[in-house]
Amino acid sequence: MTGSTPVRRTVGPFAGVGTWWRSRQLQKEIGAAAVTPAASPAAVSRYEVAACRVPSSTAEFAFSFSCVVRWRLVTADGPRHPNPAGVAVNAVLHRAMAITGVAELTDGERVNAELAAELGTPKADPGGWVQGWAEDIGLSADAEDLTLVGQLQRLRRKRLAWAAEREWECDQRQYLTDSVLRDPGTAVAWWLARHPDEIEEAVRLVGPLARLVSAVHQSEIHPLYREFEPRHQLPGPRPQDGSGPSPITGGGTVGRSSSP
């Protein structure tokens, strides 16, 4: 009968050398990584910006902006821009103009606080060269410019009020023309809705309202409403000399008889 023969491995004096060597190399790599010094942060530089004009929301009127720009390189060992200070200042100014450009010149105190909060946060420029922020921010405006802007604001408010009033008048006129005074019947119904207990007065006003509708639409009075027109005209002024027809008898003289 045939059986399997067990395989025998020879264990020599150098059997564990490979395992020991790999373990030692791994320990060296871990130790080297532990003692590698961390990269030191890039040095911070400064640039002072004095009395730079930045726009306001009102054309032709600008703020005067000043600050100290602080900046550092994003990567100390990488490629450098030939003028990193200019890049930092330009980035900070663009951040400032994004705020002042939508603000009124008269809102300087509020805008100054907003600039301090926004520009005090370090941010990289769009090109990724430097990281910049601003300190000691100052914002001011010329006194004469403030007076002129205040006048413009008052004029704008008056214009808005006038435009709103004009729009209201146009709406009211259109409402009266197209709805209330569309025809005499609608006008009478509108008046009666406001005075539900004055039926007789509504009947009396049919004629005047019909004439009003005719005047508004520049048209003839509808034949149906002509019977409501006044049939008699009021008498005119009496002549000073007593001549002319009498308002009582319709002609001749009154109180005198002719001699035989």
Closest to 91 measured CA to CA, from 58, 49, 62, 60: 49
pLDDT of residue 17: 54
Query: What are the phi and psi torsion angles at 46 (to 5°)?
Result: -135, 155
Compute the mean pLDDT over every residue in the chain, rounded to the nearest whole number: 82
Does the pLDDT of residue 213 top 80, yes or no?
A: yes
Q: What's the pLDDT score for residue 224? A: 75
Among 84-98, 121-135, 164-178, 214-228, the least confident range: 214-228
| Whether 115 contacts 155, CB under 8 Å | no
* Span 32-56, average pLDDT: 78
pLDDT category at 24 given cuts 50, 70, 90 is confident
Q: What's the confidence (pLDDT) of residue 197? A: 92
pLDDT value of residue 252: 43
DSSP state of 106: G
Q: Are strands 45-55 and 123-124 parallel, antiparallel or unpaired?
A: unpaired
- Please, what sign has the CA dihedral across residues 148, 153, 154, 158? positive
Look at residue 131 and give its three-state secondary structure: strand
Specify the DSSP class assigned to residue 76: S
How do the domains of the chain map onto residue ranges?
A: 45-141, 181-228
This prediction's pTM:
0.58
Please write the tens of the pLDDT for every residue from 66-113. Answer: 999 999 998 867 678 899 999 999 999 999 999 999 999 999 999 999
Q: Which fold has domain 45-141?
A: Tetrahydropterin Synthase; Chain A (3.30.479)
Task: Looking at the chain, list the stretches that DSSP marks H as alpha helix, in order from N- to C-terminal side.
Answer: 17-35, 84-100, 108-119, 143-175, 184-194, 199-204, 206-217
Which of 31-45, 125-139, 197-211 has the highest average model confidence (pLDDT)?
125-139
* 112-116, 198-202, 204-208: which is most confident: 112-116
Looking at residue 13, what is its pLDDT?
A: 55
Question: Is the confidence at residue 232, as pLDDT, over 80?
Answer: no
DSSP letter string over 182-247?
SSHHHHHHHHHHH-TT-HHHHHHTHHHHHHHHHHHHT-PPPGGGGGGS-SSPPP-PPPTTS-S--T
